[in-house]
Protein backbone atom coordinates (compact mmCIF):
# COMPACT_ATOMS: atom_id res chain seq x y z
CA UNK A 1 0.00 0.00 0.00
CA UNK A 2 1.23 3.48 -0.86
CA UNK A 3 1.37 6.09 1.84
CA UNK A 4 3.02 8.91 -0.09
CA UNK A 5 1.29 10.84 -2.82
CA UNK A 6 4.57 11.81 -4.48
CA UNK A 7 4.95 8.49 -6.32
CA UNK A 8 1.26 8.19 -7.20
CA UNK A 9 1.51 9.09 -10.91
CA UNK A 10 -2.12 8.63 -11.80
CA UNK A 11 -1.85 10.61 -15.01
CA UNK A 12 1.44 9.10 -16.23
CA UNK A 13 0.15 7.30 -19.32
CA UNK A 14 3.54 6.55 -20.86
CA UNK A 15 3.29 2.92 -19.83
CA UNK A 16 -0.12 2.47 -21.51
CA UNK A 17 -0.19 1.00 -25.02
CA UNK A 18 -2.93 3.13 -26.53
CA UNK A 19 -2.49 1.78 -30.06
CA UNK A 20 -3.47 -1.70 -28.93
CA UNK A 21 -6.85 -0.45 -27.75
CA UNK A 22 -7.89 1.19 -31.02
CA UNK A 23 -9.26 -0.42 -34.15
CA UNK A 24 -9.82 0.90 -37.65
CA UNK A 25 -13.42 1.67 -38.55
CA UNK A 26 -15.13 1.47 -41.97
CA UNK A 27 -14.56 5.23 -42.29
CA UNK A 28 -10.82 4.59 -42.31
CA UNK A 29 -10.20 6.26 -38.93
CA UNK A 30 -8.64 4.31 -36.09
CA UNK A 31 -10.53 5.16 -32.90
CA UNK A 32 -8.39 5.37 -29.74
CA UNK A 33 -8.95 6.99 -26.34
CA UNK A 34 -6.98 10.01 -27.52
CA UNK A 35 -8.81 10.84 -30.74
CA UNK A 36 -12.17 9.76 -29.30
CA UNK A 37 -11.91 12.63 -26.83
CA UNK A 38 -10.89 14.87 -29.74
CA UNK A 39 -14.41 14.44 -31.14
CA UNK A 40 -16.10 17.59 -29.88
CA UNK A 41 -19.62 16.10 -29.61
CA UNK A 42 -18.35 13.02 -27.73
CA UNK A 43 -16.35 15.10 -25.27
CA UNK A 44 -19.19 17.59 -24.85
CA UNK A 45 -21.66 14.83 -23.92
CA UNK A 46 -19.25 13.41 -21.34
CA UNK A 47 -18.64 16.87 -19.91
CA UNK A 48 -22.35 17.66 -19.68
CA UNK A 49 -23.10 14.46 -17.75
CA UNK A 50 -20.03 14.49 -15.51
CA UNK A 51 -20.43 18.17 -14.66
CA UNK A 52 -24.10 17.66 -13.80
CA UNK A 53 -23.42 14.59 -11.64
CA UNK A 54 -20.52 16.19 -9.76
CA UNK A 55 -22.34 19.46 -9.11
CA UNK A 56 -25.49 17.92 -7.61
CA UNK A 57 -25.73 17.74 -3.81
CA UNK A 58 -24.95 14.21 -2.58
CA UNK A 59 -25.71 13.44 1.06
CA UNK A 60 -25.77 10.41 3.31
CA UNK A 61 -29.12 9.97 5.06
CA UNK A 62 -30.34 7.91 8.01
CA UNK A 63 -33.66 6.11 7.74
CA UNK A 64 -36.08 6.96 10.54
CA UNK A 65 -38.59 4.66 12.19
CA UNK A 66 -41.56 6.60 10.78
CA UNK A 67 -40.32 6.12 7.21
CA UNK A 68 -38.66 9.52 6.93
CA UNK A 69 -35.01 10.41 6.62
CA UNK A 70 -32.50 12.87 7.99
CA UNK A 71 -28.97 13.80 7.04
CA UNK A 72 -26.19 11.92 8.76
CA UNK A 73 -23.10 14.19 8.68
CA UNK A 74 -21.53 12.08 11.42
CA UNK A 75 -21.15 9.16 9.01
CA UNK A 76 -17.56 8.90 7.66
CA UNK A 77 -18.74 8.41 4.06
CA UNK A 78 -20.60 11.74 4.26
CA UNK A 79 -17.30 13.62 4.44
CA UNK A 80 -15.81 11.68 1.52
CA UNK A 81 -18.73 12.39 -0.77
CA UNK A 82 -19.46 15.91 0.41
CA UNK A 83 -16.06 17.42 1.24
CA UNK A 84 -12.79 15.64 0.44
CA UNK A 85 -12.19 11.96 -0.45
CA UNK A 86 -8.38 12.08 -0.61
CA UNK A 87 -5.49 14.47 0.14
CA UNK A 88 -5.47 16.23 -3.25
CA UNK A 89 -9.03 16.18 -4.59
CA UNK A 90 -12.25 17.82 -3.54
CA UNK A 91 -15.45 15.81 -3.60
CA UNK A 92 -16.60 17.63 -6.73
CA UNK A 93 -13.31 16.92 -8.54
CA UNK A 94 -13.37 13.28 -7.51
CA UNK A 95 -16.94 12.69 -8.67
CA UNK A 96 -16.30 14.57 -11.91
CA UNK A 97 -13.20 12.48 -12.67
CA UNK A 98 -14.86 9.18 -11.74
CA UNK A 99 -17.90 9.93 -13.91
CA UNK A 100 -15.75 10.94 -16.87
CA UNK A 101 -13.68 7.74 -16.65
CA UNK A 102 -16.81 5.66 -16.27
CA UNK A 103 -18.42 7.22 -19.35
CA UNK A 104 -15.31 6.87 -21.53
CA UNK A 105 -14.01 3.46 -20.43
CA UNK A 106 -17.24 1.80 -19.34
CA UNK A 107 -16.19 1.71 -15.66
CA UNK A 108 -14.19 3.67 -13.11
CA UNK A 109 -12.44 2.59 -9.94
CA UNK A 110 -11.11 3.99 -6.67
CA UNK A 111 -9.06 2.32 -3.95
CA UNK A 112 -10.72 2.26 -0.53
CA UNK A 113 -8.16 3.09 2.15
CA UNK A 114 -8.70 2.67 5.90
CA UNK A 115 -7.55 5.27 8.38
CA UNK A 116 -8.54 7.36 11.34
CA UNK A 117 -12.15 7.54 10.16
CA UNK A 118 -12.53 3.76 10.01
CA UNK A 119 -12.48 1.18 7.24
CA UNK A 120 -13.46 3.80 4.63
CA UNK A 121 -11.33 6.87 5.29
CA UNK A 122 -10.02 7.77 1.82
CA UNK A 123 -10.84 7.09 -1.83
CA UNK A 124 -7.90 7.10 -4.27
CA UNK A 125 -8.91 7.02 -7.96
CA UNK A 126 -7.32 4.45 -10.27
CA UNK A 127 -7.03 4.89 -14.04
CA UNK A 128 -9.59 2.71 -15.77
CA UNK A 129 -7.29 1.76 -18.68
CA UNK A 130 -4.92 -0.10 -16.33
CA UNK A 131 -7.52 -2.15 -14.48
CA UNK A 132 -8.47 -5.76 -15.20
CA UNK A 133 -11.33 -7.52 -13.43
CA UNK A 134 -11.74 -11.25 -12.99
CA UNK A 135 -14.28 -13.37 -11.17
CA UNK A 136 -12.96 -15.96 -8.73
CA UNK A 137 -14.38 -19.43 -8.12
CA UNK A 138 -16.09 -18.31 -4.91
CA UNK A 139 -18.01 -15.64 -6.83
CA UNK A 140 -16.04 -12.66 -5.54
CA UNK A 141 -14.09 -10.28 -7.77
CA UNK A 142 -10.39 -9.60 -7.97
CA UNK A 143 -8.97 -6.41 -9.44
CA UNK A 144 -5.53 -6.40 -11.06
CA UNK A 145 -4.10 -2.91 -11.50
CA UNK A 146 -1.00 -2.19 -13.59
CA UNK A 147 1.03 0.54 -11.91
CA UNK A 148 2.80 3.22 -13.99
CA UNK A 149 6.14 1.54 -13.27
CA UNK A 150 4.89 -1.79 -14.66
CA UNK A 151 4.20 -3.53 -11.37
CA UNK A 152 0.84 -5.23 -10.86
CA UNK A 153 -1.19 -4.75 -7.70
CA UNK A 154 -4.03 -7.09 -6.76
CA UNK A 155 -7.06 -5.78 -4.89
CA UNK A 156 -9.93 -7.65 -3.33
CA UNK A 157 -13.55 -6.70 -3.91
CA UNK A 158 -13.68 -5.00 -0.49
CA UNK A 159 -10.79 -2.69 -1.43
CA UNK A 160 -12.31 -1.18 -4.59
CA UNK A 161 -15.12 1.27 -5.17
CA UNK A 162 -16.39 0.54 -8.69
CA UNK A 163 -18.78 2.35 -11.01
CA UNK A 164 -19.91 0.38 -14.08
CA UNK A 165 -21.57 1.75 -17.22
CA UNK A 166 -21.28 -0.74 -20.11
CA UNK A 167 -20.09 -4.31 -19.50
CA UNK A 168 -20.01 -7.52 -21.48
CA UNK A 169 -20.86 -9.85 -18.59
CA UNK A 170 -21.82 -7.50 -15.76
CA UNK A 171 -18.21 -7.36 -14.55
CA UNK A 172 -15.76 -6.68 -17.38
CA UNK A 173 -16.32 -3.21 -18.85
CA UNK A 174 -16.55 -2.39 -22.54
CA UNK A 175 -14.87 0.90 -23.37
CA UNK A 176 -17.52 3.31 -24.58
CA UNK A 177 -15.31 4.71 -27.32
CA UNK A 178 -14.88 1.17 -28.65
CA UNK A 179 -18.58 0.39 -28.43
CA UNK A 180 -19.38 3.54 -30.41
CA UNK A 181 -16.31 3.41 -32.65
CA UNK A 182 -18.21 3.48 -35.96
CA UNK A 183 -20.10 6.63 -35.01
CA UNK A 184 -16.95 8.26 -33.65
CA UNK A 185 -14.96 7.19 -36.70
CA UNK A 186 -17.49 8.77 -39.02
CA UNK A 187 -17.51 11.97 -36.98
CA UNK A 188 -13.70 12.08 -37.05
CA UNK A 189 -13.64 11.45 -40.81
CA UNK A 190 -16.09 14.30 -41.41
CA UNK A 191 -14.07 16.58 -39.16
CA UNK A 192 -10.85 15.70 -40.98
CA UNK A 193 -12.56 16.26 -44.31
CA UNK A 194 -13.82 19.66 -43.19
CA UNK A 195 -10.38 20.62 -41.94
CA UNK A 196 -8.84 19.59 -45.27
CA UNK A 197 -11.62 21.32 -47.19
CA UNK A 198 -10.89 24.67 -45.58
CA UNK A 199 -7.18 24.06 -45.15
CA UNK A 200 -6.69 23.60 -48.89
CA UNK A 201 -8.18 27.02 -49.57
CA UNK A 202 -11.33 28.99 -49.06
CA UNK A 203 -11.74 28.89 -52.89
CA UNK A 204 -11.63 25.11 -53.53
CA UNK A 205 -11.64 23.43 -56.88
CA UNK A 206 -9.91 26.23 -58.86
CA UNK A 207 -8.71 25.45 -62.38
CA UNK A 208 -6.10 27.63 -64.06
CA UNK A 209 -6.60 27.48 -67.81
CA UNK A 210 -4.46 28.99 -70.55
CA UNK A 211 -5.12 29.44 -74.26
CA UNK A 212 -1.42 28.93 -74.96
CA UNK A 213 0.65 25.83 -74.26
CA UNK A 214 2.28 25.98 -70.81
CA UNK A 215 5.48 24.01 -70.10
CA UNK A 216 5.26 21.66 -67.11
CA UNK A 217 7.81 23.68 -65.14
CA UNK A 218 5.86 26.89 -65.67
CA UNK A 219 2.54 25.16 -64.78
CA UNK A 220 4.01 23.81 -61.55
CA UNK A 221 5.38 27.22 -60.62
CA UNK A 222 2.02 28.80 -61.41
CA UNK A 223 0.23 26.29 -59.18
CA UNK A 224 2.67 26.80 -56.31
CA UNK A 225 2.35 30.56 -56.52
CA UNK A 226 -1.46 30.27 -56.53
CA UNK A 227 -1.48 28.04 -53.45
CA UNK A 228 1.07 30.21 -51.68
CA UNK A 229 -1.10 33.28 -52.14
CA UNK A 230 -4.62 31.80 -51.78
CA UNK A 231 -4.33 28.55 -49.80
CA UNK A 232 -5.77 28.69 -46.30
CA UNK A 233 -8.86 30.30 -44.79
CA UNK A 234 -6.84 33.36 -43.72
CA UNK A 235 -5.90 34.05 -47.36
CA UNK A 236 -9.38 33.70 -48.81
CA UNK A 237 -10.67 36.15 -51.42
CA UNK A 238 -7.32 37.79 -52.07
CA UNK A 239 -6.87 39.69 -55.32
CA UNK A 240 -5.42 37.50 -58.03
CA UNK A 241 -3.12 38.66 -60.85
CA UNK A 242 -2.77 36.08 -63.61
CA UNK A 243 -0.25 35.92 -66.46
CA UNK A 244 -1.34 36.78 -69.98
CA UNK A 245 -3.74 34.18 -71.36
CA UNK A 246 -4.35 32.40 -68.04
CA UNK A 247 -7.88 32.23 -66.70
CA UNK A 248 -9.16 30.91 -63.33
CA UNK A 249 -12.31 28.81 -63.15
CA UNK A 250 -13.85 27.78 -59.84
CA UNK A 251 -15.71 24.50 -59.65
CA UNK A 252 -19.03 24.72 -57.88
CA UNK A 253 -18.82 23.18 -54.41
CA UNK A 254 -21.98 24.49 -52.82
CA UNK A 255 -23.87 21.17 -52.93
CA UNK A 256 -20.87 19.25 -51.65
CA UNK A 257 -20.27 21.69 -48.80
CA UNK A 258 -23.98 21.65 -47.88
CA UNK A 259 -24.00 17.85 -47.73
CA UNK A 260 -20.84 17.88 -45.64
CA UNK A 261 -22.40 20.27 -43.12
CA UNK A 262 -25.56 18.17 -42.96
CA UNK A 263 -23.48 15.04 -42.39
CA UNK A 264 -21.53 16.71 -39.60
CA UNK A 265 -24.77 17.86 -38.01
CA UNK A 266 -26.15 14.32 -38.20
CA UNK A 267 -22.99 12.92 -36.58
CA UNK A 268 -23.55 15.27 -33.62
CA UNK A 269 -27.11 13.96 -33.25
CA UNK A 270 -25.77 10.39 -33.41
CA UNK A 271 -23.34 10.99 -30.54
CA UNK A 272 -26.07 12.67 -28.49
CA UNK A 273 -28.30 9.66 -29.11
CA UNK A 274 -25.62 7.35 -27.68
CA UNK A 275 -25.58 9.20 -24.35
CA UNK A 276 -29.25 10.30 -24.37
CA UNK A 277 -28.14 13.91 -24.11
CA UNK A 278 -30.55 16.47 -25.61
CA UNK A 279 -28.76 18.16 -28.54
CA UNK A 280 -29.40 21.61 -27.12
CA UNK A 281 -27.18 20.72 -24.15
CA UNK A 282 -24.14 20.81 -26.45
CA UNK A 283 -25.23 23.99 -28.24
CA UNK A 284 -27.23 22.40 -31.06
CA UNK A 285 -30.42 24.47 -31.06
CA UNK A 286 -31.80 23.44 -34.45
CA UNK A 287 -34.49 21.26 -32.83
CA UNK A 288 -35.17 23.43 -29.81
CA UNK A 289 -37.51 26.35 -29.27
CA UNK A 290 -38.32 28.56 -26.34
CA UNK A 291 -41.48 26.57 -25.64
CA UNK A 292 -39.86 23.12 -25.47
CA UNK A 293 -36.42 23.90 -24.05
CA UNK A 294 -37.66 23.51 -20.45
CA UNK A 295 -39.30 20.17 -21.29
CA UNK A 296 -36.05 18.95 -22.82
CA UNK A 297 -34.21 19.98 -19.66
CA UNK A 298 -36.60 17.87 -17.59
CA UNK A 299 -36.15 14.94 -19.99
CA UNK A 300 -32.38 15.28 -19.58
CA UNK A 301 -32.72 14.81 -15.82
CA UNK A 302 -35.23 11.94 -16.02
CA UNK A 303 -33.93 9.89 -18.94
CA UNK A 304 -30.22 10.74 -19.12
CA UNK A 305 -28.99 11.87 -15.72
CA UNK A 306 -31.13 9.79 -13.35
CA UNK A 307 -29.71 6.36 -14.40
CA UNK A 308 -26.16 7.59 -13.73
CA UNK A 309 -27.18 8.97 -10.34
CA UNK A 310 -28.81 5.66 -9.40
CA UNK A 311 -25.63 3.80 -10.36
CA UNK A 312 -23.65 6.10 -8.08
CA UNK A 313 -26.06 5.58 -5.17
CA UNK A 314 -26.17 1.80 -5.62
CA UNK A 315 -22.37 1.56 -5.82
CA UNK A 316 -22.01 3.65 -2.65
CA UNK A 317 -24.42 1.38 -0.79
CA UNK A 318 -22.62 -1.73 -2.03
CA UNK A 319 -18.97 -0.70 -1.55
CA UNK A 320 -18.83 2.11 1.03
CA UNK A 321 -21.72 1.85 3.50
CA UNK A 322 -21.66 -1.18 5.79
CA UNK A 323 -25.04 -0.66 7.46
CA UNK A 324 -26.98 0.00 4.26
CA UNK A 325 -30.25 -0.91 5.96
CA UNK A 326 -29.92 2.18 8.12
CA UNK A 327 -27.88 4.59 5.96
CA UNK A 328 -28.06 5.42 2.27
CA UNK A 329 -26.75 8.06 -0.17
CA UNK A 330 -29.02 10.14 -2.36
CA UNK A 331 -28.66 13.02 -4.84
CA UNK A 332 -30.91 16.06 -4.84
CA UNK A 333 -32.06 16.98 -8.36
CA UNK A 334 -34.54 19.66 -7.32
CA UNK A 335 -32.12 22.38 -8.42
CA UNK A 336 -32.11 21.07 -12.00
CA UNK A 337 -35.90 20.80 -12.11
CA UNK A 338 -36.54 24.36 -10.96
CA UNK A 339 -38.57 26.41 -13.38
CA UNK A 340 -38.71 30.16 -13.78
CA UNK A 341 -39.81 32.51 -10.99
CA UNK A 342 -43.50 32.36 -11.88
CA UNK A 343 -43.55 28.55 -12.08
CA UNK A 344 -41.71 28.14 -8.78
CA UNK A 345 -44.04 30.61 -7.07
CA UNK A 346 -47.13 28.72 -8.24
CA UNK A 347 -45.54 25.43 -7.14
CA UNK A 348 -44.71 26.74 -3.66
CA UNK A 349 -48.17 28.28 -3.18
CA UNK A 350 -49.80 24.96 -4.00
CA UNK A 351 -47.40 23.12 -1.68
CA UNK A 352 -48.05 25.46 1.24
CA UNK A 353 -51.81 25.68 0.84
CA UNK A 354 -52.22 21.92 0.63
CA UNK A 355 -49.98 21.22 3.59
CA UNK A 356 -47.33 18.95 2.03
CA UNK A 357 -44.51 21.47 2.46
CA UNK A 358 -43.56 23.91 5.20
CA UNK A 359 -42.24 27.46 4.97
CA UNK A 360 -38.78 26.33 6.05
CA UNK A 361 -38.74 23.61 3.40
CA UNK A 362 -39.61 26.18 0.73
CA UNK A 363 -36.92 28.53 1.99
CA UNK A 364 -34.38 25.71 1.92
CA UNK A 365 -35.13 25.05 -1.76
CA UNK A 366 -34.61 28.76 -2.43
CA UNK A 367 -31.30 28.69 -0.52
CA UNK A 368 -32.68 30.82 2.30
CA UNK A 369 -32.25 30.40 6.05
CA UNK A 370 -35.16 28.99 8.13
CA UNK A 371 -37.35 31.43 10.05
CA UNK A 372 -37.49 29.33 13.22
CA UNK A 373 -39.66 26.56 14.68
CA UNK A 374 -42.84 28.33 13.58
CA UNK A 375 -41.71 27.79 9.98
CA UNK A 376 -41.98 24.01 10.42
CA UNK A 377 -45.77 24.08 10.79
CA UNK A 378 -48.04 22.66 8.10
CA UNK A 379 -51.15 24.45 6.91
CA UNK A 380 -54.46 23.31 5.49
CA UNK A 381 -56.74 25.28 3.15
CA UNK A 382 -59.37 26.05 5.85
CA UNK A 383 -58.48 29.69 6.65
CA UNK A 384 -54.79 28.65 6.45
CA UNK A 385 -54.83 27.29 10.00
CA UNK A 386 -52.35 24.82 11.39
CA UNK A 387 -53.05 21.10 11.40
CA UNK A 388 -53.02 20.94 15.20
CA UNK A 389 -55.61 23.69 15.50
CA UNK A 390 -57.75 22.18 12.78
CA UNK A 391 -57.82 18.90 14.70
CA UNK A 392 -58.75 20.67 17.95
CA UNK A 393 -61.52 22.68 16.29
CA UNK A 394 -62.99 19.57 14.71
CA UNK A 395 -63.72 17.99 18.15
CA UNK A 396 -67.47 18.34 19.10
CA UNK A 397 -68.29 20.41 22.15
CA UNK A 398 -69.59 18.43 25.22
CA UNK A 399 -73.12 19.38 26.52
CA UNK A 400 -73.14 21.67 29.55
CA UNK A 401 -75.07 20.51 32.71
CA UNK A 402 -77.00 23.09 34.75
CA UNK A 403 -75.66 23.64 38.27
CA UNK A 404 -77.67 22.11 41.11
CA UNK A 405 -78.11 25.35 43.12
CA UNK A 406 -79.32 27.43 40.22
CA UNK A 407 -82.72 29.09 40.92
CA UNK A 408 -85.66 27.43 39.28
CA UNK A 409 -87.40 29.59 36.74
CA UNK A 410 -91.07 30.17 37.62
CA UNK A 411 -93.61 29.41 34.94
CA UNK A 412 -95.45 32.47 33.69
CA UNK A 413 -98.89 33.21 35.28
CA UNK A 414 -101.91 33.03 33.01
CA UNK A 415 -103.59 36.37 32.35
CA UNK A 416 -107.38 36.43 33.16
CA UNK A 417 -109.70 36.32 30.20
CA UNK A 418 -111.66 39.49 29.35
CA UNK A 419 -115.07 38.02 30.30
CA UNK A 420 -113.82 36.90 33.70
CA UNK A 421 -112.95 40.42 34.76
CA UNK A 422 -115.66 41.91 37.08
CA UNK A 423 -116.25 45.57 36.39
CA UNK A 424 -116.41 47.88 39.37
CA UNK A 425 -119.95 48.72 40.71
CA UNK A 426 -121.40 52.13 41.35
CA UNK A 427 -123.34 53.25 44.40
CA UNK A 428 -126.52 51.46 43.31
CA UNK A 429 -124.78 48.20 43.03
CA UNK A 430 -125.06 48.10 39.26
CA UNK A 431 -122.22 47.53 37.12
CA UNK A 432 -120.95 50.47 35.26
**Does 257 lie in the same domain as 243?**
no
Predicted local confidence at residue 20, as pLDDT: 42
CB crowding 182-210: b at 16 or more within 10 Å, else e: ebbbbbbbbbeeeeebeeebbbeeeebee
- The pLDDT, as a whole number, for residue 178 is 87
Residue 176 resides in a domain: yes
Whether residue 80 is contained in a domain is answered as yes
- Assess whether 122 and 191 both reside in one domain: yes
Amino acid 340: pLDDT: 65
Q: What is the DSSP string of 252-264?
A: P-HHHHHHHHHHH
Q: How many CB atoms lie within 10 A of CB 279?
A: 20
- Residue 359: domain span: 340-397
Same domain, 296 and 224: no
Co-location of 323 and 385 in the same domain: no
284-289 contact pairs (CB < 8 A, 24+):
none
Predicted local confidence at residue 382, as pLDDT: 65
Same domain assignment for residues 172 and 268: yes
Residue 288 lies in a domain: yes
Q: Which of 337, 368, 385 is the last residue of a domain?
A: 337
Question: 228 and 106: one domain?
Answer: no
Residue 421 lies in a domain: no
Residue 425 lies in a domain: no
Both 320 and 365 in one domain: the answer is no
Q: Kindly state whether residues 213 and 235 are assigned to the same domain.
A: yes
Q: Is 174 found in the same domain as 240? A: no
Residue 256 is predicted with a pLDDT of 56
- Domain assignment present for 102: yes
Rounded to whole angstroms, the Cα distance separating 387 from 389 reads: 5
- Is 280 part of a structural domain of the chain? yes
CA–CA separation, 85 and 387 (whole Å): 44
278/374 same-domain check:
no
The pTM of the full predicted model, rounded to 2 decimals, is 0.68
Residues 84 and 189 in one domain: yes
Would you list the DSSP string of 305-333?
A: IHHHHHHHHHHHHHHT-S-TTTEEEEE--
Structural domain count, the chain: 3
239 and 374 in a single domain? The answer is no
Which segments of the chain have a pLDDT < 50? Answer: 1-21, 202-204, 255, 418, 429-432
Domain boundary among 337, 370, 386: 337
Amino acid sequence: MKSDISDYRMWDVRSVDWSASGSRTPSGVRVTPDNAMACSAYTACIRVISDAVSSLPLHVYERLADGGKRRAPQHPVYRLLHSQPNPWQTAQEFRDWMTGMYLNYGASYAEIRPGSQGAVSELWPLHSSRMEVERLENGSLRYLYREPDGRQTAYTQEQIFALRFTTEDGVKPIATYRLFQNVLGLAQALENHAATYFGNGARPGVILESDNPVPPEAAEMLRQNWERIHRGSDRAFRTCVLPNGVKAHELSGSNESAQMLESRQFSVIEVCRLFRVPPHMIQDLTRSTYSNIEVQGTEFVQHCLLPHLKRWEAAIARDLIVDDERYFAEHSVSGLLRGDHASRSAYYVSALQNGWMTINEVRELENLNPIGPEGDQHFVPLNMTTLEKAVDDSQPDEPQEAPQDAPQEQPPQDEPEAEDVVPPADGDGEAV
